[in-house]
Chain A
Amino acid sequence: MTAQDGFIYIKSVSKLFGSLRAVDDISFTIREGEFFSLLGPSGCGKTTLLRMLAGFEHPTYGEIYIDGQAMSGVAPNSRPTNMVFQNYAIFPHLDVRQNIAYGLRNRQMTKATIDDAVDKALNLIKLPSYGYRKPHQLSGGQRQRVALARALVCQPKVLLLDEPLGALDKKLREEMQLELRQLQQSVGITFVFVTHDQEEALTMSDRIAVMSKGRVLQIDAAQQLYEEPNCREVAGFIGSMNFIDGRLLSASHGNYLVDAGPFGQLRVTAKEGQIIHGNVTIAVRPEKITLSETPFPSSQENVVKGRLAARAYLGDRNHYYVETAHNAAPMAVARQNMIRDGQVDHLVGKDIWLSWSPDSAVLLDPASS
């Protein structure tokens, strides 16, 4: 990997706070015009990485390149980046127009040009008549937009967003996700977006880096992350996942046969070339499992028998929890509520059969995390 490969190139970057490795030897690239998310639980180092891109923190080791330029020694006020802060950081003593014009006033621009840019920005964020309001007269969502406009009018090469939707309520957050994504596509600026909300990352991003304990576990597009997680931690962090431990019996042309103890032999179709030996973990998503109150025909593969322990009603779908002979944790099965009163409550406490297709499961190396 070289600096030319990516618009942003993070090269062997570590950040130590005392003895704490907040960011631990991370290397990856971000493409130009990409909506790139850093996803992980709090304390995983995603915000520290973002602040290093902005220039507020400096890597202890390694180097960050933006558009081919090494960033060490470049102060935040001369980087081609602008940031949208978690709590927006709108200047409370300035009105909306003054806030948006803040960065432009550091440039050689006439007042008319600035006014023009501010008008355009106000239209972009759909608040054209709010220019002379003070920040305390704005709602959370409006402040969020002003913060976005203030950063965008500076026309940065990279826009950095630190959990900008975290403080909004669920409905507004979903609206803003959509708006933010459309905005990014219309302005074509590279977005680096930090979030701990996996749904948010999946909805908005071109690619997502899943982080944990200062390291990057996997970088992929939403679908790959969800369908082909590369380790147990990613599989568990994104959506919910059932894990079944076993031993690999045979592998040929992407067909893997696993001895899963009391479950008997289970088959997984996976990417060829995956080098796995010995102990393996099969991962199956709850929605990929079929439920049946009667035994499946004997020709059916990957059948597991259990007892229906509980049901959780989630509105659009039900989650069924099935206790089995093999796993300590009950297996979760999701079923869409296609018809009203379609639940199987009368089966709670009774035997039930589960099955899934070999190509819906993923094979993981249990040692990977």
Chain B
Amino acid sequence: MGTRIRPSALGTYAVLFLIFLYGPVLLLPLFSVNDSIYITFPLKGFTFNWYQQMSQNDQMINALKASLKVAASVSVISTILGFIAAKAVTRFALPGRALFVGFIMLPLIIPSLVLALALLVVLRKILGFELSLMTVAAGHVMLCVPFSMLILISRLEGFDRSLEEAAYDLGDSALKVLVRVTLPLVWPAIISSLLLCFTASFDEYLIAAFLSGSDGTLPVFIFSQLRFPQNLPGVLALGSCILVGSVILVTLAEVVRRRGGPVRESGALGS
């Protein structure tokens, strides 16, 4: 038993690694209940004041709402577009498939700064759009489609094409094959894609900063608030709420994905 308690080099490394990863994040909730506007140790006292202040900060709540709206629509639109593209790439002998995929994946490599600038010029100067949450969402869709497509391509390639052929052979129309076979089998990937696109859009700063008009998204708003120290604890409170929210969301998604697990592991798919 003694050997098990003695910390091994690998164990120590693992613990340090986890502290390095999550330590800074955990400071957020800690300071959000600290009775001081300065983020320094030692802690002063316990308070829920900042949470109250947060809930009364209409500007911040509006920014949060804007971000949620953008992220929700971006995740849905990107996943639909990503699914259509992934289906085309995996199911049809497209001429120039590699080139096509390459172009769609490009936003992953191009620096967001360049993308943001280019989009600003195109939307504002060439197309003459007013900047709004819509333009932010459009930029985010461009950024998110590659993620969604990558997730869905790997899922579609992982499942046996003869399943779709069998459905077609048994009398289904193309649409019915999609609804009765393809979607039920790829839905874990669709959930992953929705979640990933949601988070990618929710915390994206650069494109949002360039393309938002009068009403900014949350990251843009928070960044503008950093100049005012008295507002900082409120931001920390909001950050803590978002942290809790995302932990719940990811846990839920994982539970749902596991429940759908046997579908993936059954023989016809595994082979």
Residues in chain A within 8 A of chain B (CB atoms): 54-56, 75-78, 81-83, 85-93, 102-103, 106-107, 134-136, 140, 143, 150-151, 154
Contacts and interface: CB of A to CB of B under 8 A. Distances in A.
B262 interface: yes
Interface in B27-65: none
A92 B169 contact: no
B163 A89 contact: yes
Contacts of B91: none
Interface string B248-271: 000000000000001111111101
B170 A93 contact: no
Given A106-B176, A135-B266, A143-B267, A87 B162 contact: yes
Scoring B171, B185, B263 by chain A CB atoms within 10 A of each residue's CB, the highest score goes to B171
Given A83-B166, A87-B160, A77 B268 contact: no
A151 B165 CA distance: 13
A92 B165 contact: no
B170 A150 contact: yes
B176 A76 contact: no
B168 A92 contact: no
Contacts of B215: none
Contact of B160 (A77, A89, A143): A89
Contacts of A93: 184-185, 263
A90 B263 CA distance: 11
B171 A103 contact: yes
B181 interface: yes
A76 B169 contact: yes
B181 A91 contact: yes
Interface in B134-181: 160, 162-163, 165-173, 176, 180-181
A248 to B, nearest CB: 50
B271 A87 contact: yes
Contact of B169 (A77, A88, A90, A143): A77
Contacts of B267: 90, 92, 135-136, 140, 143
Contacts, number: 84
Given A87-B268, A92-B266, 9 more contacts: A56-B169, A76-B168, A77-B170, A89-B162, A107-B171, A134-B266, A136-B265, A136-B266, A151-B170
Nearest to A103: B170
A154 B171 contact: yes
A341 to B, nearest CB: 46
B171 A86 contact: no
A55 B167 CA distance: 13
B165 A89 contact: yes
| For the complex of A and B, 5 pairs with smallest distance between CB atoms | A136-B266, A103-B170, A106-B171, A92-B266, A89-B166
26 contacts: A54-B169, A76-B169, A77-B168, A77-B170, A77-B173, A78-B171, A83-B166, A87-B271, A89-B162, A89-B165, A89-B268, A91-B166, A92-B163, A92-B263, A92-B266, A92-B269, A93-B185, A102-B170, A103-B171, A106-B171, A106-B176, A134-B262, A136-B262, A136-B266, A136-B267, A151-B169
Nearest to A140: B267
Interface in B196-215: none
Interface string B90-129: 0000000000000000000000000000000000000000
A140 B267 CA distance: 9
A158 B263 CA distance: 31
Contacts of B265: 136
A103 B170 CA distance: 5
Contact of A91 (B163, B262, B264): B163
A216 B160 CA distance: 30
A135 B166 CA distance: 15
B15 to A, nearest CB: 38
Given A56-B165, A106-B176, A136-B262, A90 B268 contact: yes
B166, B169, B262, B271 interface centre (most CB from chain A within 10 Å): B169
Nearest to A55: B169
A82 B268 contact: no
Given A89-B160, A89-B163, A143-B267, A106 B170 contact: yes
Contacts of A106: 170-172, 176
